[in-house]
């Protein structure tokens, strides 16, 4: 498990990797008397703004929690609507992401997703693989415990085959969906909830956390900048003194 050295901007440390639990889309819509899916569409638009803002703020890696393994419990209408939003986002943003130097990757168990969506995901991953300005990871059908179970199964196979003798933390990390990605320095959750909801439990073991009452559709680059400023004032010791 790698611990990141945060970048520096204007003399203040900046998190190299920011992970966001994008919460509050449905509530945002309901408060306005609109269907929940309107909030999810507004939330997708907000992702575009945050993605564009991150590189100029010194953030090199951004991971967003789009759909959890528990979200299948929602109504069929909402789940199908969310999957449609995901497809549209990939189709509409492929050119823009590629032109802006964004590399897009997905984590989570893809097998349950529609084959057409899986194909779109694989296609944009291949198309943007050479981009380096920002690494964007989207967690879809993702659950931290599910990921760790699948990683343990992969590691067991490697041990059985003789590829790994005495397993280490690094060996397990290499079996996670996020293999090759640095651990997040900062995890943000919007909407006022103060729980982590099964998001990156292994990777965020030493991350700083920020919980903001702002609902995701209202979360602007200015809000992100304020949080990054506060991050710069934190003393990160990683268990030291």
75 is in an annotated binding site: no
Q: In what order do the strands lie in the sheet with 17-21?
A: 102-107, 134-142, 61-68, 17-21, 186-189, 208-211
**Parallel, antiparallel, or unpaired: how do β-strands 61-68 and 102-107 relate?**
unpaired
The string of pLDDT tens digits covering residues 194-230 is: 999 999 999 999 999 999 999 999 999 999 999 999 9
26 is in an annotated binding site: yes
Decide: residue 64, CB within 10 A, 0-12 exposed, 13-18 middle, 19+ buried: buried
68 is in an annotated binding site: yes
Q: Is 177 a catalytic residue?
A: no
The string of pLDDT tens digits covering residues 96-155 is: 999 999 999 999 999 999 999 999 999 999 999 999 999 999 999 999 999 999 999 999
Residue 2 has pLDDT above 50, yes or no: no
The string of pLDDT tens digits covering residues 167-177 is: 999 999 999 99
The string of pLDDT tens digits covering residues 54-72 is: 999 999 999 999 999 999 9
* Torsion sign (Cα): 91, 118, 195, 224: negative
The string of pLDDT tens digits covering residues 32-49 is: 999 999 999 999 999 999
Domain 13-142+184-230 CATH class label: alpha beta
Tell me what pLDDT residue 11 has: 62
Report residue 13's pLDDT band, with 50, 70 and 90 as the boundaries.
confident
8-22, 40-54, 180-194: segment of lowest average pLDDT: 8-22
Residue among 4, 60, 71, 174 flagged as catalytic: 71
Tell me what pLDDT residue 1 has: 40
How far apart are the C-alpha atoms of 105 and 103, rounded to whole Å? 7
Q: Is 60 a catalytic residue?
A: no
How far apart are the C-alpha atoms of 101 and 192, rounded to whole Å? 32
């Amino acid at each position: 498990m790698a611990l990141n050295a945060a970048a520096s901007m204007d003399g203040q440390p900046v998190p190299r990797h920011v992970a966001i639990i994008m919460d509050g889309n449905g509530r945002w819509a309901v408060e306005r008397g609109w269907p929940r899916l309107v909030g999810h569409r507004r939330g997708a638009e907000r992702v575009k703004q945050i993605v564009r803002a991150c590189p100029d703020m010194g953030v090199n890696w951004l991971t967003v929690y789009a759909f959890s393994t528990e979200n299948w419990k929602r109504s069929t209408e909402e789940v199908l609507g969310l999957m449609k939003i995901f497809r549209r986002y990939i189709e509409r943003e492929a050119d823009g992401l590629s032109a802006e130097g964004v590399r897009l990757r997905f984590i989570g168990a893809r097998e349950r997703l529609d084959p057409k969506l899986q194909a779109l995901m694989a296609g944009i991953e291949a198309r943007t693989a050479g981009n380096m300005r920002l690494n964007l990871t989207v967690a879809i059908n993702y659950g931290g415990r599910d990921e760790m179970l699948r990683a343990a199964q992969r590691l067991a196979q490697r041990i059985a085959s003789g590829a790994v003798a005495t397993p280490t933390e690094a060996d397990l990390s290499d079996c996670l969906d996020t293999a090759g990605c640095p651990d997040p320095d900062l995890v943000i959750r919007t909407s006022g909830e103060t729980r982590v909801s099964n998001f990156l439990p292994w990777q965020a073991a030493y991350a700083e956390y920020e919980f903001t009452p702002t609902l995701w559709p209202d979360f602007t680059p200015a809000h992100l900048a304020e949080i990054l400023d506060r991050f710069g004032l934190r003393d990160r010791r990683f268990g030291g003194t």
